[in-house]
Amino acid sequence: MTDRYLTTVLDEAERVAEHHEQVAQSSDNPNHEYLRYAVLRLLEDEADETSVEIPQIDGLTVGYGEDEAMCESWGDDVEWWETVPPQAECTRFRMFYPDEYDAVPRVIVDVMAALGAWRIWNGSAAACGSYDHRERREVHYLWPEGHSVETLLANRLQDPEGAVAPDGGRSGDVRDRMVVTKHSTQHDDLEPRTRRAVDEAMSVSLLEKGGRYEVRSVSETGTKST
């Protein structure tokens, strides 16, 4: 499931780069900005389309910001920092969800795991000064700048045929790289099993593997149509 959500996050980040590039105008790391805005759009049901169905939760709100800047804004006496001190060059995601949930909703867990973020705090929104969300619960995730998922996005944006993944494979939907697609004239001539392979979404690469891997990108840039 994590790999499928990774593809969905990357797909949405590509759309953000194409249609909402202003979110990264003041950033030295635009891919990081595209990805974290993509998470907001996916979880708040703002995405136009997704390769994996994203379960929607009424009352789910996503906020994010640079961890150290957030600390300077709130002050280090807030309960959050007692668990994990402010982290340099990290984004802190704050997810607010209805208090009827006994645990963090699964969709949040899956999307953030796909991104490579880790949970650092969970509790009552009212307990940490969140007046506007005081009747909800809150969960925090940290996500570092320079994570390998940013490299996957960079290669997808540069190479319209698909991105080179850290494990040497290729990320994204395998259908994008098939000569025969459901829109081609040969599609109706395929045997049923092959047709299903073309039509169904399949994730073909893991985000991380042990060791250190080199990722090379092509020099020619291009834009992937959606």
Cα separation, 123 vs 107, in Å, equals 18
pLDDT at residue 80 in the model: 79
User: Predicted confidence band at 160 (pLDDT cuts at 50, 70, 90)?
Assistant: low
Selected residue with higher pLDDT from 201 and 124 = 124
Q: Quick: pLDDT tens for 95-138.
A: 999 988 989 999 999 999 999 999 999 988 765 555 555 578 89
Residue 16, pLDDT > 80, answer yes
Q: Is the dihedral of CA 166, 222, 180, 195 positive or negative?
A: positive
Q: Could you tell me whether strands 118-124 and 90-98 are parallel, antiparallel, or unpaired per DSSP bridges?
A: unpaired
Residue written as tokens 């790289």?
177
Distance of CA 67 to the CA centre of its chain: 18
Q: Quick: pLDDT tens for 46-59.
A: 998 887 888 899 98
Q: Could you tell me whether strands 118-124 and 61-66 are parallel, antiparallel, or unpaired per DSSP bridges?
A: unpaired
What is the edge-to-edge ordering of all strands in the sheet holding 136-144? 61-66, 90-98, 136-144, 118-124
52: Cβ contacts below 8 Å, ≥ 6 apart:
4, 5, 7, 8, 201
Cα separation, 64 vs 199, in Å, equals 35
pLDDT at residue 178 in the model: 34
